[in-house]
Amino acid sequence: MNLKRFLRVDSDSGSITAEAAVAISIIAVFGLGLIQILTFAMQFQRLQTLAQESSRVAASLGDPALLEMELKDFLFEIDPDISMSVSWEDSQVQVTLQEPTTGVASQFSKVVEATATSPRWSG
């Protein structure tokens, strides 16, 4: 009986497991990064839509002070972290919304900002 044959150790015996572990961790990091990018894009799209609708409503109404208070109340109900600024010019209304970023994206940008402008209605 040859004991060396049974006690032989291959030097490559665990390499497949290590390569698989590295590949799985790279795929997991890539997937989490992709999820964060999509979350940031969805947050920006939501803020942009709110800014567009707010500027349209603001342009259609006449009293800037009352309207600004109503918009702030409306945005507070949606998300208390959203801050708003409205600039009234002769022919247009500009609404800027800001919201703190969430997740890993907050390491790169602390605030998501969306601006929308609508012409004022005179009729």
User: Mind listing the pLDDT tens digit for each residue in 96-109?
Assistant: 888 888 766 667 77
Q: What pLDDT shows up at residue 100?
A: 85
Q: How far apart are CA 25 and CA 65, in angstroms?
A: 54
Q: What pLDDT shows up at residue 26?
A: 95
Domain ranges of the chain: 15-119
Q: How far apart are CA 95 and CA 118, in angstroms?
A: 9
Q: For residue range 43-96, what is the model confidence (pLDDT) as tens digits?
A: 889 889 888 888 887 777 767 777 778 778 888 888 788 888 888 877 888 888
Q: How far apart are CA 103 and CA 34, in angstroms?
A: 12
* Position with higher pLDDT, 122 vs 94: 94
Strand partners, 116: 95
Q: For residue range 10-34, what is the model confidence (pLDDT) as tens digits?
A: 556 666 777 888 899 999 999 988 9
Q: What pLDDT shows up at residue 80?
A: 82
Pairing status of strand 111-119 against strand 83-88? unpaired
Q: What pLDDT shows up at residue 4?
A: 58
Q: How far apart are CA 68 and CA 51, in angstroms?
A: 13
Burial (CB < 10 A; 0-12, 13-18, 19+), residue 12, is: exposed
Query: Does the pLDDT of residue 3 top 60, yes or no?
Result: no
